[in-house]
Amino acid sequence: RIVRGAAVGGQRAVLDPGPVAGVPETPAFRGGGLQEVAVHPQFATNGLVYFTYNKAGEPGPKPPERQSAVTLARGRFDGRGLTNIEELFAGDWRLATSGSRLAFGPGGFIYMTTGAPAGEQAQKLDTVYGKVLRLREDGRAPDDNPFMIRAAARPEIYTYGHRDQLGLT
Q: Which of 69, 90, 92 is nearest to 139 (CA)?
A: 90
Torsion of CA 14, 16, 17, 19, to 10 degrees: -150
What does the pLDDT read at residue 41? Answer: 97
What does the pLDDT read at residue 165? Answer: 83
φ/ψ bin of 152: left (φ > 0), alpha (ψ from -120 to 50), beta (otherwise): left
How far apart are alpha carbons 86 and 78 in whole angstroms?
A: 15
> How is the chain split among helix, strand and coil, in percent rounded to 5?
5, 40, 55
The pLDDT of 33-49, averaged and rounded, is 94
Pick from 30-34, 157-161, 162-166: least confident: 30-34
pLDDT at residue 31 tops 80: no
The pLDDT of 50-56, averaged and rounded, is 91
What does the pLDDT read at residue 74? Answer: 97
Kindly report, residue by residue over 55-99, the tens digit of the pLDDT: 888 888 887 777 889 999 999 999 889 999 999 999 999 887 788
